[in-house]
């Protein structure tokens, strides 16, 4: 329970739901092409190795891409560190490249990202995530994301390969 001065300064944020889809029925080109690339690099393994991802091979995807280091925490939690963040992604979420997310995102939003990363890890493969951006009251922006695991050995995930697509939500509620 939050009390005293901390409670007075902290406003409650209701997070919009994020849909996790394991059918990988992408509508946007960037995540779909990211999935094709990820599958090609897996070469029969459960996931590609981190060093299989070659930026020069996916130049059109770079503005939409983020590579997160994944640290598994006690109790099943995860922490994410953005090792690389594309320009389009940073237009929406601000400069996060090589910065602790806890210094860039509100705790509720950071936890939301962790929940989606845990869903990918629990599924053991790529997932599609769809929802509204909440950062800095940008709820008018929708996203479709590919979240796909990478691992040093191609078997145990220690990196998340994310490819994003953002668009403005229509007044009609699309």
Domain extent listing, the chain: 16-52+61-168
80 vs 84, 114, 159, 162, CA distance in Å? Answer: 12, 7, 9, 12
Other beta carbons within 10 angstroms of residue 119's beta carbon come to 15
- Residue 95, class by beta-carbon neighbours within 10 Å (0-12 exposed, 13-18 middle, 19+ buried)? exposed
Helices and strands, number each (H, E), in the chain: 4, 6
Topology at the third CATH level for domain 16-52+61-168: Beta-Lactamase (3.30.450)
d(CA 92, CA 75) in angstroms, rounded, equals 31
**Can you tell me the distance from the alpha carbon of 41 to that of 65, in angstroms, rounded to the nearest whole number?**
16
Predicted pLDDT of residue 8: 42
What is the token pair recorded at 122?
């629990």
- Rounded to 5 degrees, φ, ψ at 76 are 95, 0
pLDDT of amino acid 76: 79
Q: Are 144 and 164 in contact (CB under 8 A)?
A: yes
pLDDT score, position 163: 98
pTM of the model: 0.87
pLDDT of residue 160: 97
pLDDT along the chain (174 residues), means of 10: 40 70 97 98 94 96 97 88 95 91 88 92 96 85 96 93 91 46
Residue 13 has a pLDDT of 57
């Amino acid at each position: 329970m939050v009390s005293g001065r901390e409670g007075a300064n902290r406003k409650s944020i209701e997070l919009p739901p994020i849909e996790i889809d394991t059918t990988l029925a992408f509508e946007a080109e960037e995540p779909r092409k990211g999935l094709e690339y990820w599958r090609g690099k897996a070469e029969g393994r459960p996931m590609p190795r981190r060093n299989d991802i070659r930026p020069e091979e996916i130049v059109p995807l770079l503005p939409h891409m983020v590579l997160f280091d994944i640290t598994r925490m006690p109790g099943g939690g995860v922490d994410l560190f953005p090792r690389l963040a594309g320009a389009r992604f940073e237009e929406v979420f601000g400069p996060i490249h090589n910065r602790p997310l806890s210094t860039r995102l509100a705790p509720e939003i950071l936890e939301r990202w962790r929940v989606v990363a845990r869903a990918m890890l629990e599924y053991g493969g790529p997932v599609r995530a769809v929802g509204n951006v909440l950062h800095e009251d940008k709820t008018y922006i929708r996203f479709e994301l590919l979240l796909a695991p990478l691992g040093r050995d191609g078997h145990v995930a220690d990196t998340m390969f994310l490819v994003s697509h953002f668009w403005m939500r229509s007044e009609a509620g699309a």
